Amino acid sequence: MADYTPSEMMVARAARELKNGEVVFVGIGLPNVACNLARRLQAPGLVLIYESGAVGCVPDRLPLSIGDPCLATDSISVCSMVEVFNYYLQGGLIDVGFLGGAQVDRFGNINSTVIGDYDRPKVRLPGSGGACEIAIHAKKIIMVPKQSPKSFPEKIDFVTSPGFIDEVNSRRNFGFPGKGPSLVITDFGVYGFNKNTYEMILQEIYPGVTVRDVKANIGWDVKVSRPPKTTVPPTDEELRIIRQDLDPARIHLR
């Protein structure tokens, strides 16, 4: 099974980032697959929390939505959304928050609200959901967006969820409990953030991808760590679990 898709690479890479016992606030789509993959491999004790109020989920099918019935059945606890946002998230229990978005900028700020002007939108996107408060409260943030010049522009059209905000890390002025963006895992490679400039920096590229490819698909002159590591491709076992068990209908991993 040497052949794999960029989405499968993203999911495998994101899953490896999760440690057994961590408490993860899970989003829909690729994060969902990644968390459930990690649970099947190195992190069986990963605690999955969904904003729908399901805690300690062990879904036996891949939930299409974060309110799927399989999240409640066999979970540790089902609580109201008052509790999940106040006691779990604002209460400081979340180690890792996963976020996606239509646009991400170099400081890890995310737009999931609108393309174009807010009042005269070119494309109206779904909006924050719980993303804004996850970005503020989760101890660390991992993002798994697809990368293109449009989705990684010089300037995003709207800040739905704050990352480091700007080059002086204005984030810290607000006294947010969470440390902010930690990794951005795209379909080209993996970015971390520079500790002084708070800017995204390419740390890993996927097998077969060149730095030139990366630079052609991002809206600013991105910094690259020299030399970037090459990410270990998805293993046979990772691919088997993803394809046979997690997303056999290829709903999330097209």
Task: Please list every residue from 175 through 204 that binds other proteins, using CB under 8 A.
Answer: 175-177
- Token pair recorded at residue 175: 């006294």
Instruction: Assess 81 for contact with other proteins (CB under 8 A).
Output: yes
Q: Point out the catalytic residue in the list 8, 51, 199, 204.
A: 51
Per residue in 202-241, is it b (16+ CB within 10 Å) or e — as a string?
Answer: bbbbbeebebeebeebbbeebebeeebeebebbeeebbeb
- Determine if 160 is a binding residue for other proteins (CB under 8 A): yes
Number of other CB atoms surrounding residue 248 within 10 Å: 12
* Sole residue written with tokens 């991992």: 142
In the residue annotation, 51 being an active-site residue is answered as yes
By the 8 A CB rule, do 94 and 139 touch? Answer: yes
Among 85, 152, 191, 198, the residue binding other proteins under the rule CB under 8 A is 85
Q: Which is nearer to other proteins, 54 or 214 (CB)?
A: 54
- Report if residue 123 touches other proteins, rule: CB under 8 A: yes
In 59-83, which positions are buried (b, 16+ CB within 10 angstroms) versus exposed (e)? beebbeebebebbbeebeebbeeee
Q: How far is the CB of 136 from other proteins (least distance, A)?
A: 6
> In this chain, which of 15, 71, 142, 218 binds other proteins, going by CB under 8 A?
71
Catalytic positions: 51
Residues that bind other proteins (CB under 8 A): 28-29, 51-54, 63-69, 71-73, 78-82, 85-86, 89-90, 109, 113, 118, 121-133, 136-137, 158-162, 165, 170-171, 174-177, 251-252
